[in-house]
A and B are shown apart, each in its own frame.
Chain A
Amino acid sequence: MASLIRCPHCGARPKEEFTIRGAAVTRPQPDAGEDAWYAYVYLRDNPMGPFDEYWHHTSGCRRWLVVSRDTRTHETYGVRDAAAVAGESRS
């Protein structure tokens, strides 16, 4: 994954085209409470192994993607459009 990301809209593209944001964590509901918000903004599981991460195809289709991959091997399991992922988690 560190060299090429298979954008679901554009195909395999080099890392240079992307902006990486970090863990694909879900934003809490407004009334979720202090602990939930603190955890969202500051705490990270930081797993060694499978991991979902936000990448933005800045120099391509400008879609935000969720890249699922392994932090030990850089093997990629899948790249999905973040809006679709958000839709799934909602339904």
Chain B
Amino acid sequence: MTAYRLGQGGRIDRSRTLGFTFDGTALSGHPGDTLASALLANNRLLVGRSFKYHRPRGVVAAGAAEPNALVTVGSAGRREPNSRATMVELHDGLRAESQNRWPSLNWDVGALNGFLSPFLSAGFYYKTFMWPASFWEKLYEPFIRRAAGLGRASYHADPDRYEKVWAHCDLLVVGAGPTGLAAALTAGRAGAEVILADEASEPGGSLLFDSASVDGQPAGQFATQILAELATLPNVRLMTRTTVFGWFDDMVFGAAERVSRHVSQPLPGQPQERLWRIVAKRAILATGAEQRPLVFPGNDRPGVMLADAAVSYARRFGVGVGRKVAVFANSDAGARTAASLQAAGINVVALVDARVGHPAAVTVPRIFSGGVVSGTSGSRALGAITVRHAGGEDRFEADALAMAGGYSPRIHLACHRGGKPRWSDAHQAFLAPEGLAGLTLAGSAAGARTLGECLSQGAAEAAAVVADLGHTGTAAQFGAVDGDVPEGSVRALWHVPGGKAFVDFQNDVTVKDLGLAVREGFSDVELAKRYTTTGMATDQGKLSNVNAIGILAEARGVSPAEVGTTTFRPFYTPVSFGALTGSSTGHHFQPVRRSPLHGWAEKHNAVFVETGLWVRSSWFPRQGETHWRQSVDREVKTVREAAGLCDVSTLGKIEIFGADAAEFLNRVYCNAFAKLPVGKARYGLMLREDGMIYDDGTTSRLDENHFFMTTTTALAAGVMNHLEFCAQTLWPDLDVRMASSTDQWAQMAIAGPLSRAILQVIVDEDLSDENVPFLAAKTVSLFGGQLEGRLYRISFSGELAYELGVPAGFGEAVADALMEAGEPHGICAYGAEALGVLRIEKGHVTHAEINGTVTAEDLGFGRMVSQKKVDFIGKHMLEREGLVDAERPRLVGVKPLNPEQSFRTGAHILAKGAEATLENDQGYVTSSAFSPHVGSTIGLALVTRGPDRHGEEVVIWNALAGETVPGVLCDPNFVDPSNEKLHA
């Protein structure tokens, strides 16, 4: 085969030259070229190696269906394996490399597999590599894994940006070929909002290489004229380089736009790719049809390509695919191809028509009627072909073979929502399912066979859609089409018997493989696909599936209709992770929630930690502290001995209003709330309907009909949803309304024996125990009336403590004032770590204990669960056997026998002397910390009959860390068990 640049013609810009490299060799092309056309123009025919046998392969197609010409383009973070050369637009400096070959494309050791092919038939690997068993992972599998795969992906982070966009339209037209252009023009003229999307860089589809003319104009010129009119319509958006890859529920289409793929790096401000979510009222698929290869011995030799691809290379790219081109077809497409190539100045040496009695209207040196190509030869490229015909066999030189095996309408999108394709004997193809709401097909995607039909169908479908949407418009009319050659009758020719004939080029699936699958019981199309891997390559069987179905049908002696298709699933063509991800990468993977006291914490040198979406201050290292424990121990001690200030703004906060708010709370908490007095806070426990604890927090009654609830940080959103569920669906008759106020309040805990004195400096009213007793909750005036805040006397640490809420913007100023007021008292800032230590010392639980599998009783809250209330969420499942089982793990404290030893959360508890088995597992440590107060590590644990076993020696078992620590179970309240400090 000798491919070459034609002296004239094509839509390339011959005035400019672009330099690129392929496997390191410098080559050149022109703007308008794809990598494939440029390689052909440089007579680079061998472009890749197949998956299994590493057979030399050349370009087969001119578009998205390309199975062979897969290359790696770019380098480092922009390296992209498996790029279809037919879709890669040539740009200056493009670097492309072939794949799946070693040491080089020309001399590939893997090609030895070809000699072993008798032993590598479909599914051979399921039958061997089993002995000895240990060899699989050590020997066989690593070898298979290295041999498999295609291109190599980069480990470098992608430097480019991606984005996602939503779009809305009346009509989405997929495909800007003749059908799509006619549809968009019709709808656009009628005033509908139209999106016209096309995967190619240049709209026009087959008009870009069709040799017919419309109204006396060459097809390409006709396309240009329609595009010019579309450009004047502001309601029509043309999106090129945009592949509509999926049709999802509710008329949402996914599309990927290759914004910057055609340049070496994105222009400033431009993303690399853009994901479109297109919400369309209606859609027309004008996606055209895929030409099928013919399956004959030697059909994979470089130089054998689709007939339309050969014409497209000639007429669109100005490339002759050979000096001696043969054409092989099972329809009038053969004669049409020969004529088109000749018109472009290409030498056609033979026309092989598998049909008998269809005289060709073209002059070619050799015409075989009723002939088939039965063999090809040539080293790494086509040199000659053999034709079998009624009169025997002829072998002659040919350096390219254009094959036309009929058309398969591109119906993928129409099948994405579960519809099954229908076989049409008339079309020898599968057509789209019927009755697709909102989506219609037109043109060759619907089985049309001529340019004229495509234009009129596109216009007619669009006219129907716009009328349906209430616009007035008529189908666009176009002049007469001249030179339209319909396919005529198509002979079902699923394969030509003889040597190795490939059905799936990329995965090296042959006719024999499919036959073997049928013989071995894998005759169902899905089983045959999975057993042979046909249709599972990167092209998803765009060229191979229908041929495979035809061959299976023949082997089983049934019609292709009975074989049916495998399922069409998104994506139509592969979509990059980048496009699907958009801008949600790196630090922007998820939004960050910042506390209003973030700036305050920064000033105090906080170390921050992610807590869900929040960033919380974890501890506040001071000068000289080199280990986090030093800081945390100091903070804990300071709170126990003086006072500390902690940012608790991340707790969920909910304002609850309404005449029935008290009743509502009484139903959502398991303990009583109906009679909570105004000015009081109460600890509340929320259950799920299955009786397990859901969340806890305090709720305060600020006014008769106004409550303020706090939730844990982790479940703030969940609790709000839950409350709304209860209010709206369970008890819509109750007057209760909720507003989240998490973000409104900067909330700080001021804890420690000196907290009252410090707080009194900024709070206007008297904070004495009489006036603000434990669990008081009230609005207070601050700074001599400058500000109002909400003060709650509640404690998580067990110390005298308050929480103060002020409007978020003032949070930092108030915290600063408190730190200033507290300085003489030795106040410190304390973070989430110290908060954790303080609560563990006091035996207070968090979601480390409330893990969704514990009951109120398990945590020692049994008496809180109301026996009086008729109903509350979770009441009705509480009495089940498993929930009152005496053996349930329950909350207990745990300490090491030797204070020098420490243990970790997640360690399990075993009875002393018991063997370490699952049967002997008695529970686990839910929380642990070093307690400065106790002077050792302490923990909370859920242990079988834990509360009954205080004082019992146990083993704290952590095999992961190699630690087995003798410990003792104890009261979980390690500090001030009589709560004197709390009530001080």
| Chains A and B touch (C-beta atoms under 8 A apart) | yes
Q: A residues within 8 Å of B by Cβ? A: 1-4, 12, 14, 19, 21, 24, 27-28, 30-31, 34, 37-38, 40-41, 54, 56, 58, 62-64, 73-74, 76, 81-83, 85-87
Known: A27-B730, A30-B876, A83-B729. A4 touches B252 (CB 8 A): yes
Q: Which residue of B lies closest to A42 (CB)?
A: B690
Q: Cβ of B279: which chain A residues have Cβ within 8 Å of it?
A: 4, 12
Given A3-B250, A41-B689, A82-B728, output 16 extra A-B contacts at Cβ < 8 Å: A3-B251, A4-B251, A21-B725, A24-B729, A28-B876, A30-B870, A37-B876, A38-B877, A41-B690, A41-B877, A62-B724, A64-B729, A73-B417, A73-B418, A74-B250, A83-B732
B140 on interface, CB distance cutoff 8 Å: no
Q: Cβ of A3: which chain B residues have Cβ within 8 Å of it?
A: 248-252
B721 on interface, CB distance cutoff 8 Å: yes
State how many angstroms separate the Cβ of A84 from the closest Cβ of chain B: 8
- In the complex, what distance in Å separates the CA atom of A69 from the CA atom of B252? 17
> Could you list 13 A-B pairs, sorted by A, with CB under 8 Å?
A2-B249, A4-B251, A4-B279, A12-B250, A12-B279, A30-B870, A56-B724, A63-B724, A64-B729, A82-B728, A82-B729, A82-B732, A83-B728
B215 on interface, CB distance cutoff 8 Å: no
B948 on interface, CB distance cutoff 8 Å: no
Known: A4-B279, A30-B870. A54 touches B252 (CB 8 A): no
State how many angstroms separate the Cβ of B435 from the closest Cβ of chain A: 11
State how many angstroms separate the Cβ of B883 from the closest Cβ of chain A: 12
Q: Cβ of B250: which chain A residues have Cβ within 8 Å of it?
A: 1-4, 12, 74, 76
Q: Is the interface of A mostly helix, strand, loop or mixed?
A: mixed
Q: Which residue of B lies closest to A87 (CB)?
A: B732
- In the complex, what distance in Å separates the CA atom of A40 from the CA atom of B688? 13
State how many angstroms separate the Cβ of A40 from the closest Cβ of chain B: 8
- In the complex, what distance in Å separates the CA atom of A21 from the CA atom of B949? 40
Contact A74 B249, beta carbon cutoff 8 Å: yes
Contact B725 A56, beta carbon cutoff 8 Å: yes
- In the complex, what distance in Å separates the CA atom of A37 from the CA atom of B689? 9
B425 on interface, CB distance cutoff 8 Å: no
Q: Please pick, from B277, B728, B877, the residue contacting A37 in the complex, using a CB distance under 8 A.
A: B877
Q: Mark B853-876, 1 if CB is under 8 A from A, else 0.
A: 000000000000000001100011
Contact A56 B871, beta carbon cutoff 8 Å: no
Q: Please pick, from B251, B418, B732, the residue contacting A86 in the complex, using a CB distance under 8 A.
A: B732
- In the complex, what distance in Å separates the CA atom of A73 from the CA atom of B730? 29
Q: Please pick, from A4, A19, A24, A27, the residue contacting B249 in the complex, using a CB distance under 8 A.
A: A4
Give me the 8 closest cross-chain CB pairs, A-B, nearest first.
A83-B732, A3-B252, A30-B871, A4-B250, A2-B249, A37-B876, A82-B729, A3-B249
Q: Cβ of A31: which chain B residues have Cβ within 8 Å of it?
A: 870
State how many angstroms separate the Cβ of A10 from the closest Cβ of chain B: 14
Q: Cβ of A19: which chain B residues have Cβ within 8 Å of it?
A: 721
- In the complex, what distance in Å separates the CA atom of A82 from the CA atom of B728? 6
Q: Cβ of A24: which chain B residues have Cβ within 8 Å of it?
A: 729
Known: A3-B249, A4-B249, A41-B690. A54 touches B729 (CB 8 A): yes
Chain A CB within 10 A, most for which of B418, B730, B876, B877:
B876
- In the complex, what distance in Å separates the CA atom of A21 from the CA atom of B688? 13
- In the complex, what distance in Å separates the CA atom of A91 from the CA atom of B250? 33
State how many angstroms separate the Cβ of A71 from the closest Cβ of chain B: 12
Q: B residues within 8 Å of A by Cβ? A: 248-252, 277, 279, 417-418, 689-690, 717, 721, 724-725, 728-730, 732, 870-871, 875-877
Q: Is the interface of B mostly helix, strand, loop or mixed?
A: helix
- In the complex, what distance in Å separates the CA atom of A28 from the CA atom of B870? 13
Q: Cβ of B730: which chain A residues have Cβ within 8 Å of it?
A: 27, 86
- In the complex, what distance in Å separates the CA atom of A23 from the CA atom of B876? 19
Known: A3-B252, A82-B729, A87-B732. A58 touches B721 (CB 8 A): yes
State how many angstroms separate the Cβ of A12 from the closest Cβ of chain B: 7
- In the complex, what distance in Å separates the CA atom of A62 from the CA atom of B871? 25
- In the complex, what distance in Å separates the CA atom of A14 from the CA atom of B725? 20
Q: Cβ of A28: which chain B residues have Cβ within 8 Å of it?
A: 876
Contact A1 B249, beta carbon cutoff 8 Å: yes
Q: Cβ of B717: which chain A residues have Cβ within 8 Å of it?
A: 58
Chain A CB within 10 A, most for which of B417, B418, B730, B732:
B732
Contact A54 B871, beta carbon cutoff 8 Å: no
State how many angstroms separate the Cβ of A15 from the closest Cβ of chain B: 9
- In the complex, what distance in Å separates the CA atom of A76 from the CA atom of B725? 22
- In the complex, what distance in Å separates the CA atom of A3 from the CA atom of B253? 10
State how many angstroms separate the Cβ of A35 from the closest Cβ of chain B: 11
- In the complex, what distance in Å separates the CA atom of A45 from the CA atom of B249? 24
Q: Cβ of B277: which chain A residues have Cβ within 8 Å of it?
A: 14
Q: Which residue of A lies closest to B166 (CB)?
A: A14
Q: Cβ of B870: which chain A residues have Cβ within 8 Å of it?
A: 30-31
- In the complex, what distance in Å separates the CA atom of A28 from the CA atom of B873? 11
Q: Please pick, from B248, B725, B728, B877, the residue contacting A2 in the complex, using a CB distance under 8 A.
A: B248
Q: Please pick, from B418, B728, B876, the residue contacting A64 in the complex, using a CB distance under 8 A.
A: B728
State how many angstroms separate the Cβ of B725 from the closest Cβ of chain A: 6
Q: Cβ of A38: which chain B residues have Cβ within 8 Å of it?
A: 877
State how many angstroms separate the Cβ of B728 from the closest Cβ of chain A: 4
Q: Cβ of B725: which chain A residues have Cβ within 8 Å of it?
A: 21, 54, 56, 64
- In the complex, what distance in Å separates the CA atom of A63 from the CA atom of B876? 26
State how many angstroms separate the Cβ of B719 from the closest Cβ of chain A: 13
Q: Which residue of A lies closest to B717 (CB)?
A: A58
Q: Which residue of A lies closest to B720 (CB)?
A: A62
Contact A86 B729, beta carbon cutoff 8 Å: yes
Q: Cβ of A74: which chain B residues have Cβ within 8 Å of it?
A: 249-250, 417
State how many angstroms separate the Cβ of A81 from the closest Cβ of chain B: 8
Q: Cβ of B252: which chain A residues have Cβ within 8 Å of it?
A: 3-4, 14
Q: Cβ of B418: which chain A residues have Cβ within 8 Å of it?
A: 73
- In the complex, what distance in Å separates the CA atom of A63 from the CA atom of B720? 11
- In the complex, what distance in Å separates the CA atom of A28 from the CA atom of B724? 18
Q: Which residue of A lies closest to B729 (CB)?
A: A82
Q: Cβ of A86: which chain B residues have Cβ within 8 Å of it?
A: 728-730, 732
- In the complex, what distance in Å separates the CA atom of A82 from the CA atom of B729? 5
- In the complex, what distance in Å separates the CA atom of A85 from the CA atom of B877? 26
Contact A56 B689, beta carbon cutoff 8 Å: no
Q: Cβ of A76: which chain B residues have Cβ within 8 Å of it?
A: 250
Chain B CB within 10 A, most for which of A3, A40, A41:
A3
- In the complex, what distance in Å separates the CA atom of A31 from the CA atom of B717? 31
State how many angstroms separate the Cβ of B244 from the closest Cβ of chain A: 14
- In the complex, what distance in Å separates the CA atom of A48 from the CA atom of B584? 36
Contact A63 B690, beta carbon cutoff 8 Å: no
- In the complex, what distance in Å separates the CA atom of A1 from the CA atom of B721? 21
Q: Please pick, from B251, B721, B732, B876, the residue contacting A56 in the complex, using a CB distance under 8 A.
A: B721
- In the complex, what distance in Å separates the CA atom of A38 from the CA atom of B881? 13
State how many angstroms separate the Cβ of A90 from the closest Cβ of chain B: 8
Contact A64 B724, beta carbon cutoff 8 Å: yes
State how many angstroms separate the Cβ of B711 from the closest Cβ of chain A: 16
State how many angstroms separate the Cβ of B245 from the closest Cβ of chain A: 14
Q: Cβ of A41: which chain B residues have Cβ within 8 Å of it?
A: 689-690, 876-877
Contact A63 B877, beta carbon cutoff 8 Å: no
- In the complex, what distance in Å separates the CA atom of A86 from the CA atom of B717? 24
Q: Which residue of B lies closest to A58 (CB)?
A: B721
Chain A CB within 10 A, most for which of B249, B728, B729:
B729
State how many angstroms separate the Cβ of A4 from the closest Cβ of chain B: 4
- In the complex, what distance in Å separates the CA atom of A31 from the CA atom of B875? 11
- In the complex, what distance in Å separates the CA atom of A84 from the CA atom of B460? 44
- In the complex, what distance in Å separates the CA atom of A76 from the CA atom of B730? 24
State how many angstroms separate the Cβ of B967 from the closest Cβ of chain A: 38
State how many angstroms separate the Cβ of B439 from the closest Cβ of chain A: 14
State how many angstroms separate the Cβ of B739 from the closest Cβ of chain A: 10
State how many angstroms separate the Cβ of B743 from the closest Cβ of chain A: 15
- In the complex, what distance in Å separates the CA atom of A39 from the CA atom of B440? 45
Q: Which residue of B lies closest to A30 (CB)?
A: B871
- In the complex, what distance in Å separates the CA atom of A85 from the CA atom of B279? 29
- In the complex, what distance in Å separates the CA atom of A34 from the CA atom of B880? 10
Q: Cβ of B689: which chain A residues have Cβ within 8 Å of it?
A: 40-41
Q: Cβ of B728: which chain A residues have Cβ within 8 Å of it?
A: 63-64, 81-83, 86
- In the complex, what distance in Å separates the CA atom of A1 from the CA atom of B251? 10
State how many angstroms separate the Cβ of A2 from the closest Cβ of chain B: 4
